Amino acid sequence: MTPRRALAVSAVSAVAAAAAALAWLFFIGLPRWYGGPAKAAAAPAPVQVPAGRKIKARLFYVAADGSSLTSVERDVAYGEGTAGQAKEIVNAQIAPVTEPLLSAVPPGTTLRALFVTANGEAYVDFSREITAAHPGGSLDELLTVYTIVNALTVNLPAVSAVQVLVNGMEVDTLAGHVDLRHPLAKNLAWVQ
Amino acid sequence: MNFRSLPGGSKAPALLCAGPALLCAIVSVAILLFARGLASQGVAQPSPLTLLAKEGRRVIPVSLINDQEFVALDDLAPIFQLTVREESLALTVSYKGKIIVLTSDQGLASVAGKLVSLPAPPTRVGRRWLVPLEFISRALAPIYDTRLELRKASHLLIAGDLRVPQVTVRYEPVGTAARLTVDATPRATSTVSQDNDRLTIKFDADALDIAISPLPPLPSQGVLQGVRVLDPVALAVDLGPRFAGLKASTQPVDQTMRLVIDLLSTQTPTETAGPVPAPPPPAAPAPDLSALNQPVSAVRTIAIDPGHGGDDEGAKGDGGVKEKDVTLSVARRVKASIEARLGIRVMLTRDDDRNVPLDERTAVANNNKADLFISLHANASLRKSAVGVSIFSVAFDQAAEQAARLTLAPERLPTFNGGLRDIELVPWDLAQIGHIDQSIELATILERQFHDRIALSPRPIVRAPLRVLESANMPAVLVEMGYLTNPDQEKQLAGADFQNAVVQAVFEAVLKFRDALDQGRLAAAGGTP
C-alpha cells in the first residue's frame, strides 16, 4: 500500500466512524438523555411472562344439593390486562370437569369473545351450545348465569357486572327464565 | 242460490223473507228461540231448520219419526234446485248433473258414486219423501256448489261463507254484583254500548247461533234483569236498579273470543233493605262456595301462565315427560277449580301447545287488568337428587330498580280537555317494581299452602331476575312445581294426584291472598326493594 493509498483508507475510516458516532448520538444517545424515560413509559418493553405463570381464582360448580353453587380455588393461566385475565378465567370455568365437580355451563360451550368496558361491565360472548344444550329449568339457568357472573366479579375487582351474549348477539334468556338483557351484578346468595 | 227468485208456489210452509229484512230476522230468531224453548220443555214437535244465506233466512219444517229428525225432499228441492225422481227401488236426487241415489230400505246413499251412511233410510209420508237431516250434510253438501254447514244441535243450516259464531252466555252472581261471560266461536269481535238501562252487545257477524243458559232467579232490585236477543247480530242486557257501572274485557281462547262483562253494584255489604233479618240457622261449612256471596273483591281476574309450549318444550325428564305438557295440564286444572269455586275469572296465557313469547304472556295479564299473575313451571337440576317446590318473585338489578323508582313518581300531564292530571308512567320492563312486596307476600302464602301437601325445595322462596315476571303490572310469582330431572318426581308431576295437590295449594293461596287483600292486611302496591 502506498502512503497516498493508506491516507485515503484512513480518511474513509474516519468518516465512517464519525457517521456511526453521529448516528448513535442522534438515534440512541440524545433520546436517552432527553426523551428516554417518557418514551419508555409509553411503550414499555413486553413483560416476559414466565411460561406457565398462574394466578389463583375461585371457580364455581354445582353444589351437592343441586340447588346452589360451591366455589373451588384453582390455578388459572395468567392473562394480560383485565380482559385477558377475564378470558383465562372464563375458559377455566367452562373447561370440562370430572366428578365430584359438576359444571352448570352446558358441555361444548366455548368462549367466542370477551371485552370489558371502561365502567367495568364485562360482555362475554359464548357459542350457541350454552342455550342449545341447556337442560332448562329456572334453577339450572340461574346456576349457569351466576357461575359466569360470579367467576368474573369475584376474581376481578375491575369487573362490576357481566352480560352474557350468545353467538355475538344479546339474548333475552338462555332457556326462558333469567333476564339477560342487562349486565348482572355479583350474587353470592347462590353460593354455599 | 237466490231465495227471492224461487217460485212462490213452494208447497212447503216455509217463511219467505220478503218483508223488511230486520222484521223478518227478528221473527225468524223469535221462532227459532221459541221452538227451542218448546223442545227444551219436552214437547215432541221438533223445531224447524233455519236456513241462513246471504239472501236471507227461511225455515224448513222438520218431522220427528222414531226419534229421528227428517226433512221433506219436496221442501229441499226448490231451495237447492234439486230434481227428485222416484224409481222402483230407489230415489234419485240430481243437482247439476250430479246424482244422489237413495234406497228406501237402507240407511245408505250413493253420492256421485261414493257411498255414505245415513242414520235412517228415506221414509214416505203420504205423497212426500222424507230424508234424515244428515242427508243435507253427508249427501247434499259434498256435491253442492256452495258450502253447506249443518248445525244440528241448534237447527241451523248455513249456506255460503257466512260468519255465524256460536254464542253462549253465562251468568254468575258475585256478591251483589254479577258477571256475564259471552263466548263467540269461531272468534267474532263485539262492541258493548250502554243506553240508559240497557247494554247492547253487537257482534261483527252475519248472524248468531245463540244459546242463552237459563238464568237463575234474579233479584228484582239487582244489577241485572235479563239477557235477550235484540237483533240477528246483537244481544240486549237489561240492567237492574243497582247497576253502578261495568268493566268489559275480551280475550281469545283457542277459537273462541271471550267477552267478560262485570256489572258493578251500588249496594255495599253493609246496606240492608229493611229490618235486620234474623241470623240464618247454622249451616255446614262451605268455604269454597261462600266466596260467591262476598262483596266484589280486589281479586277478580287471575292470569295463569303455563310455562313454555310449542317448540320450546322446557325441561324434560328421562322418562319423556315434558315441562310444557305438565304446566298446561296444571294450568287448566287451576282455571277450572278457581272459576268454579271462587267465581274469579281465570285467563290462561296459552290454552294449547304453542310457543308464546314472554312479553305476550304478561301482555295478556296487563291488558286484561288481571289482579294476580302466576307462572307455572317444572324445574331441572344437574343433580338428579334435587326435589321440591320453589316459588320465585322478581329481583331487579339494584341500579335499574332505583332508576325505575324515580320514574314511578306521578307526572302531571295535560289532558285533552285542557286540564292537568297526575299520570304514573311505568316502563313495561319494570312494571313489577310497584308490586314487589305483594308478590313476596303471595310467594309466602303459596309456600305455606305447599308446605303440607308437597315437598319443598331447600330454597322454597327465591328472588331472581326472571324475565316473565318483570313486566307484570300486578303481584306476580313463578312456581317451579318440582324437578323433572328427578325420576320419582317426574312420575309425580305427570300424575293427577300430584297435579291436584298443586291445584289445591294454588287455590287456597289465592283465596287467602284475596282475603288478606280485601281485609287490608297486605301492604299497598308500591313495594319496597
Give pLDDT tens digits for B75-85.
999 999 999 98
CATH class label, B166-268+289-296: mainly beta
User: Among partner residues B384, B392, B398, which is closest to A138 by beta-carbon distance?
Assistant: B392
3-state helix, strand and coil shares in percent for chain A, rounded to the nearest 5: 40, 20, 40
Q: So where are chain A's domains?
A: 3-42, 54-190
pLDDT at A21 (0 to 100): 55
Name which of B86-95, B315-324, B468-477, B507-516 the model is least confident about: B86-95
User: Among partner residues B382, B397, B480, which is closest to A135 by beta-carbon distance?
Assistant: B382
Contact (CB<8Å) B480/A172: no
Contact (CB<8Å) B484/A65: no
- Residue with the three cell numbers 380482559: A83
Q: What is the mean pLDDT of residues A42-60?
A: 70
User: Which of B232, B247, B234, B256 is closest to B183 using CA atoms?
Assistant: B256
Surface of A (17-76) touching B: CB under 8 A = 62, 64-68
ipTM: 0.73
Q: What sign results for the dihedral spanned by CA atoms B259, B263, B269, B275? A: negative
Give pLDDT tens digits for B145-204.
989 999 888 888 999 888 888 888 887 777 777 888 888 888 888 888 888 788 889 888
Q: So where are chain B's domains?
A: 8-159, 166-268+289-296, 302-518
Provide the percentage of residues in chain B whose pLDDT is more than 90.
39
- Interface check for B400 against chain A (CB to CB < 8 A): the answer is yes
Contact (CB<8Å) B381/A140: yes
Beta strands in B315-449 (DSSP E): 345-348, 372-379, 389-394, 411-414, 420-423
- H/E stretch holding B157: strand B156-159
- Residue with the three cell numbers 359464548: A126
- Interface check for A132 against chain B (CB to CB < 8 A): the answer is no
Sequence-distant (6+) residues with CB within 8 A of B158 are B52, B53, B147, B148, B149, B151, B164
Please tell me whether residue B159 adopts helix, strand or coil conformation: strand
B92 vs B413, which has greater pLDDT?
B92
Shortest Cα distance, chain B CAs vs residue A80, angstroms? 30
Contact (CB<8Å) B381/A172: no
- Span B8-159: which CATH code? 3.30.457.10
User: How far lies B204's CA from each of B164, B165, B208, B267, B495, in Å?
Assistant: 10, 9, 10, 34, 42
Sequence-distant (6+) residues with CB within 8 A of B290 are none
Q: Identify the closest residue of chain B to A135 by CA–CA distance.
A: B315
Chain A residues in contact with B464 (beta carbon < 8 A): 138, 142, 177-178
Name which of B410-419, B458-467, B506-515 the model is least confident about: B410-419
Q: Is the pLDDT of residue A10 over 70?
A: no
The yes/no answer on whether domain B302-518 falls in CATH 3.40.630.40 is: yes
Q: Ranked by mean pLDDT, which of A39-53, A114-128, B83-97 comes out on top?
A: A114-128
User: Among partner residues B314, B384, B390, which is closest to A139 by beta-carbon distance?
Assistant: B390
Grid cell for residue B401: 330498580
